[in-house]
Structure 1
Amino acid sequence: MSTDLLARVRAASAAGTPSGAGRPAGAEEAATGNVPTAPGNAETVEALHTWLTRYEGHIARRLPSHVEAGAFLAAVRDRLPALEGCSPASILDAVLACASFGFIPDGREAVLTRDGALATFIPTYRGYVKAMHNSGFVTSVRVEMVYAGDEFTYEPTRPAPDDFVHRPNLDVPKDKRGEPRFAYAFAWLRGGDRSQPIILSSEDADEIRDLYSKAYQRARDAGTDDSFWHTHRLDMWRKSAIRRLYKLVPTSAEMRALEAVEEAAEAGRPQLDHAPDPEAAALVAEAERAARAAEGSQDVPSGTLKVKAKGRGRSKPKKQRGGRRGARGRA
């Protein structure tokens, strides 16, 4: 992506709220060619598709090599009807930020949604799990809901993994398992240790929502029920557990960027400022892999020293010269 286009997207996305009724933020700048232009609110979704096609090359270059551009762009096009009326630069900002993490915005790993006049990229709890796996510091992540009919115990004074038991009642349909009681998350770390589990009650989830979710606060103040805390409460409950967990385990640059991008969305700021740059992210990932490999090599016991044998007998090690002094010199 060219530096010029990137700067214009960031500047226009920072415009924030609409400048007039029915007019997207940044529309005046778009008319003069200073930011990427998009169809007006009255235009068809087909016109919006045509506009986005102009930037497909930039979007594809932002994607990690393992993500197929066609699948990503198809998911973006499916979301465009829900983004009509958003500022044109914020649509591109959200799409490029999502592409930087390699998440397909199909609702599983991430979504593209509207918050007022701004389009935003929101990672789901599954997106956080994927980023934790990508870090290389964890081998497995569990995030689950506990329902009233489940067997669940947690004894923090007992050693892991005996401190934690969850047995879902699988003999009954999901809608018969009772009300959700807790969300929990934990990770198995590279090396075999298990992290401390994070356990959030319904009251904990509501407190996090009320204190930290600006999207929920805006929806509540506007008298609408369209924030994710309104429409996908259990998923947001799970994601709250994951976001607390990641602070307790070794983290990667991607994980830190993911949280920063989501916080930018909550605050209505451009998200691309916090998304990983593809080239820089590749260098950081390579450095982190090298650090993990170096750290891991210290944990592996050294192999048995092989000595040459004459015939069938074992050869004797040669006498070391210099006695203790020589031994110390090689330590």
Structure 2
Amino acid sequence: MSEISKAIEKRDNGPAAVVEKYRESLALVMPSHLQQRVGAWIRNTQGLLRRDPKLMEAAQNDVGQFIAVLMDAGRLGLEPGTEQYYLVPRWSKKKRCTEVTGVRGYQGEIELMYRAGAVSSVIVEVVYSNDQFQFRPGRDERPIHDIDWDAEDRGQLRLAYAYAVMKDGATSKVVVLNKGHIAKARAKSDSADKDWSPWNTDEEAMWLKTAAHRLAKWVPTSAEYMREQIRAQAVVDSEQRPEPLPVTIPAPAAGTVDDDYDDSPIDAEFVDD
């Protein structure tokens, strides 16, 4: 096989081409808000591969794993290669090569909370050592966080916190994480010591993601929540609907109907046209 033929075969069977081949499958798992722009979603993913040689190499090493990661991002309705959903080349000890893994980012966590329809706003922030921060559980409804925006240096990362304001105005549980909490979360990542890991390329974003992920335990993050709310409301409405009123139709004058006329009461339900 000539070099040109090999290049054509590699192009036609490479990760970018395989993504296009899975267009229909990806569209099937995507939420409705993405199904109208699945073409742009795929082109953006292909662009990521062209711009990042390490990502392309990892995708080529295991195309099936790469497609599985994209299916996960599509199912969640998140944009791969963004702070919603990172695409990370990760070393696989078993395969002895890099492969693509998906890491949900803090913006992805927040997006899922909004999409569930239960919250009106989500606040996720980091606190630096030169900031002023106060939160007393049981006494403060929400944290008080003062920042000197004129300061050239806010210091070192100190805390991360997250909470949501529900649509009825109530405040969700407030999650506050210190360096110890973040260190434990980082230790669970088997790629945290790699230079390409988000823990090293965008540390603040990973602090935010960790706080948002903890908040997700206390806030609905699935469209199933909204469907359940609609179903429950339908049940309540049906239980509150008035019972049909019995209607008695008086017997007509003698001689106007057959002798089989039944003058017993019947149940009728009034229906508006």
TM-score, normalised on structure 2? 0.70
Q: Is the 8 A contact 2:15 2:63 kept in 1?
A: no
Partner-residue secondary structure (3-state), 1:205:
helix
Which string of whole-angstrom CA distances, capped at 9 and with x for unpartnered residues, describes residues 12-63 of structure 1?
xxxxxxxxxxxxxxxxxxxxxxxxxxx99x9469944233322223223332
Native 8 Å contact 1:83 1:91 kept in 2: no
The amino acid of 2:181's aligned partner reads D
Contact 2:106 2:209 in 1 (8 A): yes
Match of 1:121 in 2: 102
Distance 1:105 1:292, change over 3 A: farther
Alignment equivalent of 1:213, drawn from 178, 184, 189: 189
Candidates 246, 255, 262, aligned match of 2:216 = 246
Q: Provide the C-alpha distance between the structure 2 equivalents of 1:296 and 1:235, rounded to a whole number of angstroms.
A: 42
Q: TM-score, normalised by structure 1?
A: 0.58
Mapped contact 1:110–1:124 kept (Cα < 8 A):
yes
Residue 99 of structure 2 aligns with an amino acid whose one-letter code is L
Structure 1 pair 46/89, CA: closer, same or farther in 2 (3 Å)? closer
- Given the alignment of the two structures, is residue 79 of structure 1 paired with residue 54 of structure 2, yes or no? no
After the TM superposition, which residues 77-156 of structure 1 pair with which residues of structure 2 at under 5 Å, given as runs? 77-80=46-49, 81=53, 82-84=55-57, 85-116=60-91, 117-156=98-137
1:49 to 9, 12, 16: 16
How far off its partner does 1:74 sit?
1.9
* Higher RCO by CA contacts (8 Å cutoff, separation 6 or greater): 1
How big is each residue's C-alpha offset from its partner over 1:126-158, in whole Å with a ceiling of 9 and x where there is no partner? 100010111122221100011122221112241
Structure with greater proportional strand content = 2
Deviations for 1:89-114, whole angstroms, at most 9, x for unmatched residues? 11111111111111111313112222
CA distance in 2, matches of 1:294, 1:138: 21
Q: How many residue pairs end up in the alignment?
A: 217
Query: Secondary structure, in 3 states, of the residue corresponding to 1:106?
Result: coil
CA contact (8 A) 1:186 1:195 kept: yes
Task: Summarize the Cα distance change of 1:49–1:246 in structure 2 as closer, same or farther, 3 Å threshold.
Answer: closer
- Could you tell me which amino acid in structure 2 is paired with residue 166 of structure 1? H
In 2 relative to 1, CA 88–245 (structure 1 residues): closer, same or farther, beyond 3 Å?
same
Letter in 2 for 1:96: M
Contact 2:126 2:158 in 1 (8 A): yes
Cα deviation, residue 295, structure 1: 9.7
For 1:302, the equivalent position in structure 2 comes to: none
CA distance in 2, matches of 1:171, 1:57: 51
Gaps of 5+ in 1: 1-38, 255-280, 298-331
Q: Give the direction of change, closer, same or farther, for the CA distance of 1:50–1:207 in structure 2 (3 Å limit).
A: closer
User: Is the CA contact 2:69–2:100 (under 8 Å) kept in the aligned structure 1?
Assistant: yes
Secondary structure of the structure 2 residue equivalent to 1:115: strand
Alpha-carbon separation, structure 1, partners of 2:236 and 2:56: 46
Residue 150 (structure 2) aligns with: 171
Contact 1:83 1:113 in 2 (8 A): no
Letter in 1 for 2:209: K
The CA distance in 2 between the partners of 1:135 and 1:121, in whole Å, is: 22
User: Counterpart in 2 of 1:62?
Assistant: 29
More displaced, 58-67 or 70-79? 58-67
- Write the distance in 1 (CA, Å) between the matches of 2:10 and 2:190: 30
Could you list the per-position Cα deviations for residues 243-299 of structure 1 after superposition, in whole angstroms to 9, with x for gaps in the alignment? Answer: 2112223x24x3xxxxxxxxxxxxxxxxxxxxxxxxxx7xx46632414646998xx
Identity, in percent, stands at 27
Q: Structure 2 regions of 5+ residues with no counterpart?
A: 1-5, 92-97, 238-273
- State the AA in 1 paired with 2:125: E
Q: Which AA in structure 2 matches 1:165?
A: I
Could you tell me whether the CA contact under 8 Å between 1:71 and 1:104 is conserved in 2? Answer: no
Is the Cα–Cα contact under 8 Å of residues 86 and 114 in structure 1 kept in the other structure? no
Counterparts of 2:46 and 2:130, CA distance in 1: 41
Could you say which structure has the larger radius of gyration? 2
RMSD between aligned residues: 2.9
